[in-house]
Structure 1
Amino acid sequence: MNDDQLLRYSRHILLDQIGIEGQQALLDARVLVIGAGGLGSPAAMYLAASGVGQLTLVDDDTVDLTNLQRQIAHTTQRVGQPKAASARITLADINPEIALVALQERVDDARLAELVAASTVVLDCTDNFATRHAVNRACVAHQVPLVSGAVIRFDGQVSVFDPRTGSQPCYSCLFPQDQAFTDEACSTMGVFAPLVGVVGSMQAAEALKLIMGIGASLAGRLLLLDGLHMEWNSMRVARDPCCAVCGDAALSV
């Protein structure tokens, strides 16, 4: 690290659990954020500010006026612009020293495999089960930890799915991909703006901890937030040996 970096990240370096080694791990990391909306905005902003070496944003949508109530990486002047490109401008203003890759595309399984394989950790900041399951499959296949978040109305949830240990559940253990789940869109159900900031920030925190190898992650736990009454609940999630994605039969193929 040069002198400017030592100064920029000095408040991290002062923490015994991080120090020079932890901050260097962040500078060497490659993080993939899928979704540059409500969750992806705060998550990516904290990752950029913290000095993640390369940050790749994937989103095929454009900025809409209705997004601005909660998607803080975007501005009124950027309505109509691609979200990935808009977020890139914000992140570059926060930290011009890191490498930023903005991809305006809807990634298929092959593209996901390519992006995930090149990543240290992946953040799923999307809003539909099909994409979440596709991201989970790629992370399991390439043994890359996944930080998942979701928010609707006044309710939020966040968890970590870390396939590197072989003993932790994947996203499909919690929400089996062969079961029917109804996607609840913010456009019809609504969402309390600050909650995406809370959950997105927690996703960033979990990702940073995973990169640096500090603390205990949310792997094996689902953290639930009732934002209307400001109550947190935590539930244990066990690996399903019959899971179609990470189960014994699936992994032996």
Structure 2
Amino acid sequence: MTDTNSDPRSIQDPLANPERLERFARHIVLPEIGGAGQARLAASHVLVVGAGGIGAPAIQYLAAAGIGKLTIIDDDVVEASNLQRQTIYTESDIGAPKAKAAADWVRRFDPALDVIPVRARIDAGNVRDLISDTGQILDGCDNFATRLAVSDAATALGIPLTSAAVGRFQAQTANFAGHLPDQPCYRCWVGDAFDAEDCDTCAADGVLGAFTGMAGSMAAMMAIRIALDGVSALGDPQWGQLQLFDGLAPRLRTIRVMKDPACRALGHGSTE
């Protein structure tokens, strides 16, 4: 028997399947999404880097949106301290690889979706092999070295990227398409100073669980914008518009990231 979940395009049109139609009815009645938009979501493949504080809620909302195929990359295991904010996991998952536990949740939540767990740590040596077979990427990892490796490879391969980060009560998310003319990449925003593992951590600085949920939901929303590009009114990726959220105020503001003419990821400057 052919596995119809092996390709998101094999998922039936939500307008033609009564069960899928009911499941996504609240999307379909939105003029900004509609039936065409929901069909595009079902045909989309999003690769999520990191199944932690940002990735966990993002995975849940991407699955809830009907993204037809999800690849989840994470090399960590579930710890008790994760449960305060990574609500995709339960106590029974402690000690299990996060990628597998998150994929198991997706399968229980919606068996029609195709989900692929990958237990691996992304670095400059393996990143292209790990991300090349996808339509778009959502990066919610917790260190700059991985973020920049993913961004550089995405730019080189022409893959749109949603990047999200959170620290204490500050969060940021943006869509990048450095492969497009006049569009910046993530490295244009942070520069070359952060090609290292030495960044702040939730363990050291603390983080409010509900706030990471907000950041992950924002990241999922931005990824959905990419998936719907050219199909619906919601499909405006807003390339390079960095959303900064201050959770204490609370306050949201937008910064327009400019393309760096010296950015080495865009083929300029030093590659050393």
Q: TM-score, normalised by structure 1?
A: 0.93
Tell me which residue corresponds to 1:199.
215
AA at the equivalent of 1:97: A
Q: Distance in 2 between matches of 1:150 and 1:247?
A: 25
| Residue 55 (str. 1) matches residue 75 (str. 2) | no
Q: Is the 8 A contact 2:244 2:252 kept in 1?
A: yes
Counterpart-to-counterpart distance in 2, 1:178 and 1:152: 18
Structure 1, unmatched stretches of 5+, are none
Q: Contact 1:33/1:44 (CA < 8 Å) preserved in 2?
A: yes
Q: Does 1:149 align with 2:169?
A: no
Q: Distance in 2 between matches of 1:147 and 1:176?
A: 17
Partner of 1:228: 248
After TM superposition, give the deviation of residue 39 of structure 1 in Å: 0.4
Instruction: State the partner residue of 2:236.
Output: 216
- String of CA shifts for 1:181-229, please: whole Å, max 9, x gaps: 7500111111111111111111111111111113433422211111111
**Following TM superposition, by how much is the alpha carbon of 1:165 offset from its aligned partner in structure 2, in angstroms?**
2.6
Q: Distance in 2 between matches of 1:111 and 1:21?
A: 35
Per-residue deviation, 1:65:
0.7
Q: Cα RMSD between the aligned structures?
A: 1.8
Aligned pairs, number: 251
1: CA distance between counterparts of 2:169 and 2:262?
Answer: 33
Residues 1:242 and 2:258 are matched in the alignment: no
8 A contact 2:145–2:194 mirrored in 1: no
Residue 265 of structure 2 aligns to a residue whose secondary structure is coil
Q: Does 1:75 pair with 2:95?
A: no
Counterparts of 1:180 and 1:97, CA distance in 2: 39
Q: What is residue 53 of structure 2 aligned with on the other side?
A: 38
Per-residue deviation, 1:103: 0.9
Verify the 8 A CA contact 1:241 1:247 in the aligned structure 2: no
TM superposition shift of 1:131: 0.2
SS in 1 for 2:164: strand
Q: Deviations over 1:38-97 (max 9, x none)?
A: 100110101111111110000000001111110111111111111111111221222111
1:102 to 2:117 alignment: yes
2: distance between equivalents of 1:110 and 1:208? 29
How far off its partner does 1:178 sit?
4.3
Contact 2:144–2:195 (8 Å) recurs in 1: no
Does the CA contact (< 8 Å) of 1:240 and 1:247 recur in 2?
Answer: no
Determine whether 1:6 maps to 2:21. Answer: yes
Would you say the 8 A contact 2:242–2:255 is kept in 1? yes
Query: How much has 1:7 moved relative to structure 2?
Result: 1.6
Whole-angstrom CA distance in 1 between matches of 2:248 and 2:38:
36
Q: Secondary structure at the match of 2:126?
A: helix
Contact 2:227 2:235 in 1 (8 A): no
Which one is further off, 163-172 or 129-138? 163-172
Deviates more, 1:51-60 or 1:223-232: 223-232
Give the Cα separation in 2 of the matches to 1:144 and 1:207.
12
Q: Name whichever structure is richer in helix by fraction.
A: 1
Task: Find the residue that maps to 1:208 and give its secondary structure.
Answer: helix
Calculate percent identity across the aligned residue pairs.
39
1:248 Cα deviation (Å)? Answer: 4.7
When residues 146 and 186 of structure 1 are mapped into structure 2, their CA distance, relative to the original with a 3 A threshold, is: same
